[in-house]
Amino acid sequence: MKQEQKPSGGYRYNRISFFLNGRFRSLEIAPGISTLDLITKQLHLYGTKCSCNEGDCGACTVVIAQPREGSIVYEAITSCLYPAAKLHGKHLITVEGLGSPQLLHPIQKALLEHHGTQCGYCTPGFVMSLFACLASISHPDHESILAALEGNLCRCTGYQSILDAAAELSRTQDPGTIVPQWCRDIEPKLFAFDQLPQEVHRPSASHFQISRYLLPKDLDQLKEMLAEYPRAFLIAGGTDIMVQVNVQRKRFGTLIDLSNLPELNQIKLSRAGIHIGAAVSYTQIMDSGIVRCDLPELVRLCRLIASKQIRNFGTLAGNIGNASPIGDSLPLLLVYEARLLLSSQRGCRECALQDFFIGYRLTVLKEDEFIREIIIPIPPRSAFIKSLKTAKRRAVDISSVVSAIRIEEDGRATLTFGGVAAQPVFSEFFAQSFSPTADWSALAELVAREFTPLSDVRGSADYRRQMIINHILRYQEAYHA
């Protein structure tokens, strides 16, 4: 892992330009400041609330409007984890923009009429999550509403009143009535936005956790920056990094943000498979036609990762770069035989994902290298591919054990796990011993003995061994169904 960089004398600010509730703003922001801190501490808009500051509660939810593939998308994000520098060129919509006590927005009115608000602390977050949902989907069904709200916690209402309000909104409203005209007026300006963020150097006595936040505009600039600051940290969505900033108070020297790079923002198909750019969010993966068609299990798994507000800017590359043994995507990517395209100023190289991890949170990535894309060969339709995640809740929860299986038509099989060793692992025993007629129960007992999981807050070693067995038995059921 990279060592911390000591901040050099003086501090770098970013001058970013964006739209806030229908008005153009151009501001100097402290390096790495979150959107939540920008809104509340610098712009003194207090409607957006802070509760956990680590992505778990949704009280800080705001909506970002930005161009994507020829249209404007409205997406809810947790502003406590969203670096404000990412706002450049986008439209930030907060609860203050939507309505006022004199003139409530239809969503606020419905929540009020259905008693969907009590202490009110969570309410701005619910309003903004519903706004993004109803702005994006005409008459969303119950499942879509639940998905939109899975990242919002409420201590008081019991949720039913909020769901009743959402159901009425879904019946009576559509994007035309939900999205105010002042949002529509901004949309063409987002397409035409051509300013670049500026780096402003200021000597300052203030003490920032991050001394420099860089936003390269293309791959060449990124490579130059990595050559100049070889010990810089990369940030894609920021949903792992910003937790370290907010909660662990970790200090970073230079952060280089990959999210503006067009080359990293695409999903494409080649003979080698599906290429997912390193800045592509989980939501973009789930919405992609080619992924849905050829990698349906990846879409199903993404749906179980974090919450809607986090999937809207968290990335698969960040899950890999984080190299956590319980990263949810890793076992499935391993059975897909995914490869990584790694890039630096010296050129590109490909690396099989299984060779990428070399120990607990250790990878083969060199200091000036970055993951450019994830390449997933399209498996044959006859292959049986499934993934399972054990966690205490369905949404917004990290796994205790996560696994994936692949069985080919000819009986060759691979089984992978996260959460049972220092890094995601294959079961060699399963690969050697599996046959379609094998005794799955006996196999499961023996696979469980192959690993020595740790005990931690998410589960004891014994619990994890039992989960290994349970996962294999669930795969047996699905395979024979």
Ligand X SMILES: Cc1cc2nc3c(=O)[nH]c(=O)nc-3n(C[C@H](O)[C@H](O)[C@H](O)COP(=O)(O)OP(=O)(O)OC[C@H]3O[C@@H](n4cnc5c(N)ncnc54)[C@H](O)[C@@H]3O)c2cc1C
3-state secondary structure of 109: helix
**Which of these ranges, 44-52, 138-146, 183-191, 421-429, lies near ligand FES under the rule CB under 6 A?**
44-52
371 binds, among ligand X, ligand FES, none (CB under 5 to 8 A by kind): ligand X
236 binds, among ligand FES, ligand X, none (CB under 5 to 8 A by kind): ligand X
58, 140, 216, 419: which one binds ligand FES (CB under 6 A): 58
34, 239, 414, 416: which one binds ligand X (CB under 6 A): 239
Q: Which residue, 152 or 343, has its beta carbon nearer to ligand FES?
A: 152
Q: Which residue, 161 or 403, has its beta carbon nearer to ligand FES?
A: 161
80, 84, 225, 472: which one binds ligand FES (CB under 6 A): 80
Show contacts of 348-355: CB within 8 Å, 24+ apart: 348/372, 350/375, 353/320, 354/426
Residue 468: Cβ-neighbour burial (10 angstroms; 0-12, 13-18, 19+) = buried
Three-state SS sequence of 182-226:
HHHHHHHHHHCCCCCCEEEEECCCCCCCEEEEECCCCHHHHHHHH
CB of 272: closest distance to ligand FES in angstroms?
A: 38
CB of 277: closest distance to ligand X in angstroms?
A: 9
56 binds ligand X (CB under 6 A): yes
303-362 residues near ligand X, rule: CB under 6 A: 305-306, 310, 314-315, 317-319, 321-322, 327-328
CB of 319: closest distance to ligand FES in angstroms?
A: 19
Q: Quote the CA–CA distance of 380 and 364 in Å, as a whole number.
A: 30
End-to-end, the C-alpha distance of the chain in Å comes to 44
Q: Which residue, 59 or 258, has its beta carbon nearer to ligand FES?
A: 59
CB of 153: closest distance to ligand FES in angstroms?
A: 7
183 binds, among ligand FES, ligand X, none (CB under 5 to 8 A by kind): none
CB of 329: closest distance to ligand X in angstroms?
A: 6
Of 116, 114, 148, 113, the closest CA to residue 132 belongs to 148
52 binds ligand FES (CB under 6 A): yes
336, 370, 430, 475: which one binds ligand X (CB under 6 A): 370
Of 374, 216, 207, 368, the closest CA to residue 284 belongs to 374
250-309 residues near ligand FES, rule: CB under 6 A: none
Q: Which residue, 247 or 431, has its beta carbon nearer to ligand FES?
A: 247
Question: Which tokens hold the place of 444?
Answer: 């499961």
Is the sign of the CA dihedral 45, 48, 52, 56 positive or negative?
Answer: negative
33, 39, 153, 235: which one binds ligand X (CB under 6 A): 235
CB of 370: closest distance to ligand X in angstroms?
A: 4
| Residue burial 270-286, b: 16+ Cβ < 10 Å; e: rest | eeebbbbbbbbbbbbbb
396, 443, 444, 468: which one binds ligand X (CB under 6 A): 396
Which residues touch 294 (CB under 8 Å, ≥6 apart)? 274, 378, 379
3-state secondary structure of 73: strand
| CA distances for 125 relative to 62, 182, 303, 309, 455, angstroms | 7, 21, 20, 10, 35
3-state secondary structure of 167: helix
155 binds, among ligand X, ligand FES, none (CB under 5 to 8 A by kind): ligand FES
68 binds ligand FES (CB under 6 A): no
Q: Which residue is nearest to ligand X (CB)?
A: 318
> CB–CB of 416/427 below 8 Å?
yes
R_g over Cα of the chain? 23
Q: Which residue, 119 or 200, has its beta carbon nearer to ligand FES?
A: 119
59 binds, among ligand FES, ligand X, none (CB under 5 to 8 A by kind): ligand FES
CA angle 404–268–303, rounded 5-degree value: 40
Q: Quote the CA–CA distance of 11 and 14 in Å, as a whole number.
A: 10
314 binds, among ligand FES, ligand X, none (CB under 5 to 8 A by kind): ligand X
114-153 residues near ligand FES, rule: CB under 6 A: 117-123
Residue with tokens 């299984």: 354
243 binds ligand FES (CB under 6 A): no
Binding footprint of ligand FES on the chain (CB under 6 A): 50-53, 55-60, 78, 80, 117-123, 154-157
- Give contact residues for ligand X (rule: CB under 6 A): 54-56, 81, 233-241, 243, 258, 278, 305-306, 310, 314-315, 317-319, 321-322, 327-328, 365, 370-371, 396, 398
